Amino acid sequence: MTHSATSFKVDYYQFIGVDGHPVPGVKVPAVAQDFDRLKKLYELMVKTRIFDKKAIALQRTGKLGTYASCLGHEAAHVAIGAAMREEDCFAPMYREYGAQFYRGVEMRDVLMYWGGDERGNDFKKAKHDFAWCVPIATQCLHAAGAALAFKLKNQPRVAVSVVGDGGSSKGDFLEAINAASAYQLPLVLVIVNNQWAISVPRKSQNSAATLAQKGIAGGLSSIQVDGNDLVACLWAMDEAIEAARSGQGASVIEMITYRLSDHTTADDASRYRPDDEVDAAWEREPMIRLRQYLTHQGIWNESLEQALHETAQAEVQASVDDYLAQVDTQPQPASAMFDYMFDSLPHDLAEQRAQAARFEDEGGQH
């Protein structure tokens, strides 16, 4: 060797420890004192977890096709949503409900989507956000394209996408990093590293010390944060989005968390994952930590917690009732499968649509 061509490091940030106290010796960012914001996000985390539990129950009772739980990811997810402006663009994967609820996507929409009804993707708010995206990591390039569109149109908007630890292995993710670097895009790519890609553990994706360093390879600012520490997630997102909006380029944030649930309701994690690992992960989960922190700060107490659970339960139940009513009383006709294929229906689909409508009129089941 004659000289080092480059060197890099990946910083890890945790501000609120597992005990709910600020980490000793670490300078805590101002957002840790923004109690209005933290309280609001805690409330959203609780509501999201109650929704999550209810959605699984719906699937278990045959009222939902399948469902991808967000249990344990709540801090990471709500931080992503809370750091974005309304006009920014979110390209989710498929379990970031906390981020989407913050942006105005309705619980009923989530249920409709997982119930197989495309109307769940017709958001009433966040109307420019992308829909849920099941082909892994492909959404990263949609966000990169959105970011390029904003840049070309001189709009001060930022695109944000999320990928998992498994998704970080895909070319789409790496090509999004590369594009963000080539075009200096206003883009934030978040790796929500929950340690498991269905049954494949993080270590089987690759032997790199971090996933964040993939961003560094592409020339992006890249860090790791404790994905169970809302303050760290929020601070990192705020910083990355501000940098992107002010023309300083894209970032990669790896949020280290843990998938406390099965991959989806179609999965059984006990087949491949030791119980003691899950038990240990529960010790680090984000909700109790934040609640303790807010309690220590005098912001939260048991009666607020009680009241929150009651209102959240009622809100979730109302959404479920709304979903079930829509499914039962207003199913889409079979012909609706053709109606949104094109701006105006081509002749061949018009013919097929007429056949479907005729079949239905004659009493065929849909």
Partner 1 sequence: MADITLIEGVTMALARAMSEDEDVVILGEDVGVNGGVFRATAGLQAKFGAERVLDTPLAEVMIAGMSVGMAAQGIKPVAEAQFCGFSMPMVDQIMCHAGRMRNRTRGRLSCPMVLRFPSGGGIHAPEHHSESPEALFAHMPGIRVVTPSSPARAYGLLLASIRDPDPVIFMEPKRIYRWQKEHVEDDGEELPLDVCYVLREGTDITLVSWGAMIKETLAVAEQLKERGIHAEVIDVATISPLDMDTIAESVAKTGRCVIIQEAPRHCGVASEIAAGLADAGFTVYWPL
Tell me how far, at minimum, the Cβ of 349 lies from partner 1, in Å: 7
H-run or E-run covering 160: strand 159-164
Tell me how far, at minimum, the Cβ of 219 lies from partner 1, in Å: 11
Task: Closer to partner 1 by CB, 185 or 236: give it.
Answer: 185
Check 49, 157, 259, 291 and give the catalytic one.
Answer: 259
Tell me how far, at minimum, the Cβ of 23 lies from partner 1, in Å: 38
> Does residue 150 contact residue 159 with C-beta atoms inside 8 Å?
yes
Q: What is the dihedral of CA 288, 291, 292, 298, to 10 degrees?
A: -170
Record the tokens describing residue 349, joined without a space. Answer: 């689909």
Q: Percentage helix, strand, coil, to 5, in the chain? A: 50, 10, 40
Tell me how far, at minimum, the Cβ of 364 lies from partner 1, in Å: 21
Task: Closer to partner 1 by CB, 12 or 123: give it.
Answer: 123
Give me the sign of the Cα torsion angle 41, 42, 44, 48: positive
Q: Is 62 exposed, middle or buried (0-12, 13-18, 19+ CB in 10 A)?
A: exposed
Tell me how far, at minimum, the Cβ of 321 lies from partner 1, in Å: 22
Backbone angles phi, psi at 162, to 5 degrees: -125, 140
Task: Closer to partner 1 by CB, 272 or 340: give it.
Answer: 340
Check 49, 77, 95, 263 and give the catalytic one.
Answer: 263
Q: What is the dihedral of CA 99, 102, 107, 112, to 10 degrees?
A: -50
Q: Please say if 259 is a catalytic residue.
A: yes
- Rounded-to-integer distance, Cα 40 and Cα 263, Å: 28
Task: Closer to partner 1 by CB, 143 or 294: give it.
Answer: 143
Record the tokens describing residue 131, joined without a space. Answer: 């829909």
- Rounded-to-integer distance, Cα 301 and Cα 142, Å: 42
Task: Closer to partner 1 by CB, 288 or 349: give it.
Answer: 349
Tell me how far, at minimum, the Cβ of 135 lies from partner 1, in Å: 5
- Rounded-to-integer distance, Cα 146 and Cα 47, Å: 30
Task: Closer to partner 1 by CB, 167 or 227: give it.
Answer: 167
Question: Which residues have a Cβ under 8 Å from the Cβ of 304 and sit 6 or more positions away?
Answer: none
Q: Which residue, 183, 193, 106, 95, is CA-closest to 147?
A: 183
Residues that bind partner 1 in the complex, under the rule CB under 8 A: 89, 91, 118-119, 121-123, 127-128, 130-131, 135, 138, 140-150, 152-153, 159, 171-172, 175-176, 178-179, 182-183, 340-343, 346-349
Tell me how far, at minimum, the Cβ of 80 lies from partner 1, in Å: 18
Check 21, 37, 60, 272 and give the catalytic one.
Answer: 272
Task: Closer to partner 1 by CB, 23 or 180: give it.
Answer: 180
Instruction: Describe the strand order of the beta sheet including 12-13 as a list of residue ranges.
Output: 12-13, 221-226, 251-256, 187-193, 159-164, 89-91
Catalytic residue positions, numbered: 259, 263, 272
